[in-house]
Chain A
Amino acid sequence: MKLLDIQHLTKKFVVESDWLGRPKKILTAVHDVSLAIEAGETVGLVGESGCGKSTFARTILGLYEKTHGTVLYKGRNIDQNGVHADFKRHVQMIFQDPYASLDPRMTVADSISEPLRNYHMCANNQDLKKRVFELLEQVDLNSEAAQRYPHEFSGGQRQRIGIARALALNPECIFCDEPISALDVSVQVQIVNMLKDLQQRFGLAYLFIAHDLSMVHHVSHRIGVMYLGKLVELGPGSTVYHDPLHPYTQSLIAAIPKPDPHAAPAVPAGGEVPSPLSLPSGCVFHPRCPYASELCRHESPVWREVQPGRFAACHHVRGGDVV
């Protein structure tokens, strides 16, 4: 059974309302996105800033109220009584900024034990202390760290504390929202390797959100690509990376500067991301797309399975090719 099945999730924000409070300007941050996550699987989500990948994760978790759509947790709708509490406990999140996501006035032990207290996971203080030390050990921090405050740690260590906090309730799935983009290259590797280890040990599923495609490719089983609030492509990690179908994915991958001085320089795609407040007609990518035709200008492409296990939303993708 699918661990998480997100169906037609839409999130709209009211940017401006008139004097009666009626919405005047609406921003659709996430538009009709469906995605399923299996147990023990890593799904990578990439896209440029403002494409709605973080909003998507936060909306699933209920940090934003969703506008439409359903989220099924093990086949049960999380809006039902009783399911939501279960869902909240088993799906946790790691945030991008390790400096902002920890309370500066709480010791590391306090931060990590807060979820344990909330869910009455430990019978007494002795147990609680033991569990905190165990969690710290799982993220390779020593037990001295427990009594210290976040400002005494480097970015990488803070991210470890965030991970320990997310692990506290024995989750089944962790949403990682740009967990490494604020870190140095060598520290990024430490965190990524640790996340992979934890996945093997506890059978965790990850929704791994990042803009660094090569790192996402390294960690993910499947990759989803978002553009202006819509999912444009989804498929097995290596196929999406090595043989992208959607023209947007192609331009995204062509733009990565390769760490090889003999490689040809990255080819820039033309144009800029349009404002999400005034989306282009038809396919949202058509003003930047080299394949754009009359059809693309008028009609929005449907999300369909183009090959077994590969999905794309593009008029020009037929079979395994763009024509």
Chain B
Amino acid sequence: MNTLLDIQNLSISFRTYRGVLEAIHHVSIVVNKGETIGIVGESGCGKSVTAHAVMKLLPKETAIYSPDCKIMWEGTNIVSFTEQEMNALRGQDMSMVFQDPMTALNPVLTIGDQICEGLVLHRRISQQQALYEAEKLLRAVGITAPEKRLHQYPHELSGGMRQRSLIAMALACSPRLLFADEPTTALDVTTEAQVLYLLRSLQQKLGMAIVLISHNLGVIAQMCRRVYVMYAGCVVESGMVEDIFDKPAHPYTNGLLASLPDPEHKDKPLQGISGQAPDLFHLPEGCRFYPRCRHTMQICMKQAPPCYDLGKGHQAACWLLCPERGKYNEIT
């Protein structure tokens, strides 16, 4: 069996003071062993919620998992796992690198203490041994003078070093799956390139799977084998990275790609996407993207499109791909 994580029909709702809000809707994602997949989309599309839902890091009081959803971790459904069972998984088998390295680190503990915590808990080794391991980890993520850094506090490190420490912490117990939630968004381009390079080389060495969440299409194109594009809580397109970038099938993916400036054709105006992402409380009926779409048809406003298979695992949810498309008149 090659599948590590199989998310089926995951829907997450939150109880809010304005009522119940569905943040992600019928999301299905497969992660194979040792593979890097990317989840791309704009803010509020549910990328992070998906990752947090798998790790079960969402607030228990407000987050509701849909009854028919399944999160299969190596064949076991972990939706019904207790906190104790999850604790054994988290850090050990799956871990996470968060977006903002300043808020993800505890300001009153040294870097060494924070890395050791997971090691002592999961591996049951002494603090002394854990510190020794932590030093090795810091060296592995490319931090100079790790013996000194171990005893420093997060505020004494630069942004890049904090992100590296977070990666070291996430890798402490050699997890098989790493969620990287916008790991480079808070960093400068040069540091970003260093962190991405580090993630790539660590993956080759350790053979873990990475779920990379990002809004930066450049990062996704460079890092991932397969990509899931999310919009307003749904996966709208998925497939191999080459298929997504070379022949995007969904108008949203197309719009995202057209939003990037082409350095070779500077004078070409950028296409972009008009309008803005919908408020999840007032989702449009039918396809969630139709108010911003260039190819809206009658049917788009009435019925959500099914997922069409385009071969080689390339799938997209759009009425344009329907074989009997001629029936629906286009109104643009």
CB pairs A–B below 8 angstroms (11 shown): A49-B159, A186-B272, A211-B188, A214-B260, A254-B193, A257-B218, A257-B222, A260-B245, A265-B197, A269-B190, A272-B161
* A217 with B196: CB separation less than 8 A: no
Per the bound structure, the CA–CA distance linking A252 and B190 in Å amounts to 6
* B193 with A263: CB separation less than 8 A: no
Tell me whether A24 is interfacial, beta carbon within 8 Å.
no
Q: Distance in Å from the Cβ of B207 to the closest Cβ of chain A?
A: 19
Chain A positions within 8 Å of B194 at CB level: 268-269
Tally A residues with Cβ within 8 Å of B.
44
Which of the listed residues B161, B189, B277 has the most CB atoms from chain A within 10 Å of its own CB?
A: B189
Q: Distance in Å from the Cβ of B65 to the closest Cβ of chain A?
A: 27
**Known contacts A256-B218, A260-B221, A272-B158; A186/B192 CB under 8 A:** no
| B271 nearest CB neighbor, chain A only | A189
Chain A positions within 8 Å of B222 at CB level: 257-258, 261, 263, 265-266
A-B interface contact total, Cβ < 8 Å? 121
Chain A positions within 8 Å of B215 at CB level: 184-185
Per the bound structure, the CA–CA distance linking A101 and B222 in Å amounts to 35
| A244-272 Cβ-contact flags toward B at 8 Å (1 or 0) | 00000001101111111111011111001
* B188 with A267: CB separation less than 8 A: no
Tell me whether A242 is interfacial, beta carbon within 8 Å.
yes
Chain B positions within 8 Å of A129 at CB level: none
Per the bound structure, the CA–CA distance linking A258 and B217 in Å amounts to 8
* A156 with B276: CB separation less than 8 A: yes
Per the bound structure, the CA–CA distance linking A48 and B277 in Å amounts to 30
Chain B residues with CB under 8 Å of chain A are 42-43, 158-161, 188-194, 196-197, 200, 215-222, 241-242, 245-246, 255-257, 259-261, 263, 266, 269-274, 276-277
| B267 nearest CB neighbor, chain A only | A218
Q: Distance in Å from the Cβ of A64 to the closest Cβ of chain B?
A: 23
B196 CB contact (under 8 Å) in A157, A189, A211, A266: A266
Tell me whether A39 is interfacial, beta carbon within 8 Å.
no
Tell me whether A87 is interfacial, beta carbon within 8 Å.
no
* B189 with A255: CB separation less than 8 A: yes
Tell me whether A193 is interfacial, beta carbon within 8 Å.
yes
**Known contacts A154-B276, A189-B270, A265-B200; A255/B261 CB under 8 A:** no
* A217 with B261: CB separation less than 8 A: yes
**Known contacts A217-B263, A217-B266; A257/B272 CB under 8 A:** no
Chain B positions within 8 Å of A34 at CB level: none
